């Protein structure tokens, strides 16, 4: 889904990423809430650990633990991805993420008639741990790529005859 990939990455790479993620996860609209959880996951993968509030991430992990199985379909999927992101990219809370992933267990998401599967968060985190990948961050994309994405979105907005709102019109 575009709201979980493109929108989340554009938001995470902007100076408003954290603010948007916090706002979006509170939305009742599935595509917006899932975008918020994906934005948090993206932020964890690119921000240095000293720029991440461990208390906030810990609270979000507890929220996922208590709400994931009652959440909307795509939100469940992105919450599961958030647990994996914490476990893999944010080493200070990797153990906590693994414990919560084990408590959560299997996450059921209706994927339609596709071969797509929901990753088991605890297995995924353990696999990253065994490979020595815990805490490895992704490189931030080049500014040129961000500009290309922004320009691409602008061209789409013109074709769709919408105002230039690079985030909002995608929902």
Is 168 within a domain?
no
Give the integer Cα–Cα distance in Å for 107 and 51.
30
Residue 155 belongs to a domain: no
Q: Is 96 inside a domain boundary?
A: yes
- CA 91, 92, 95, 101: dihedral to nearest 10 degrees? -80
Residue 75 to residue 37: CA distance in whole angstroms? 7
Exposure of 6 by Cβ count < 10 A (0-12 exposed, 13-18 middle, 19+ buried)? middle
Question: Could you read off the pLDDT of 48-66 as tens digits, one per residue?
Answer: 999 999 999 999 999 999 9
Residue 63 domain boundaries: 6-140
Residue 37 contacts by C-beta under 8 Å, 6 or more apart in sequence? 21, 25, 75, 78, 79, 81, 82
Instruction: Report CA Rg, the chain.
Output: 16
Q: What is the pTM of this model?
A: 0.82
**Domain membership flag for residue 149:** no
**What's the CA gap between 64 and 37, in Å, rounded?**
10
Cβ–Cβ < 8 Å for 40, 83: no
Has residue 147 been placed in a domain?
A: no
| Tens-level pLDDT at each residue, the chain (171 residues) | 777 888 898 888 888 899 999 999 999 999 999 999 999 999 999 999 999 999 999 999 999 999 999 999 999 999 999 999 999 999 999 999 999 999 999 999 998 888 889 999 999 999 999 999 999 998 655 555 666 676 676 666 666 655 544 454 444
Distance CA 171, CA 7 (A): 9
- Euclidean distance between CA atoms 38 and 5, whole angstroms: 7
Number of structural domains (the chain) is 1
């Amino acid at each position: 889904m575009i709201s979980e990939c493109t929108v989340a990455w554009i938001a995470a790479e902007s100076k408003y990423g954290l603010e948007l993620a916090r706002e979006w996860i509170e939305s009742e609209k599935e595509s917006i809430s899932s975008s918020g959880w994906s934005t948090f996951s993206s932020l964890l993968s690119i921000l240095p650990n000293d720029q991440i509030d461990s208390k906030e991430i810990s609270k979000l992990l507890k929220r996922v633990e208590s709400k994931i199985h009652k959440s909307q379909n795509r939100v469940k999927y992105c919450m599961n991805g958030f647990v994996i992101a914490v476990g893999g990219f944010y080493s200070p809370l990797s153990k906590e993420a693994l414990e919560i992933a084990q408590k959560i267990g299997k996450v059921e998401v209706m994927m339609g008639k596709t071969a797509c599967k929901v990753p088991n968060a605890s297995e995924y985190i353990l696999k990253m741990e065994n490979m020595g990948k815990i805490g490895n961050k992704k490189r931030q994309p080049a500014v040129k790529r961000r500009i290309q994405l922004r320009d691409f979105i602008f061209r789409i907005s013109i074709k769709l005859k919408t105002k230039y709102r690079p985030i909002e019109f995608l929902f």
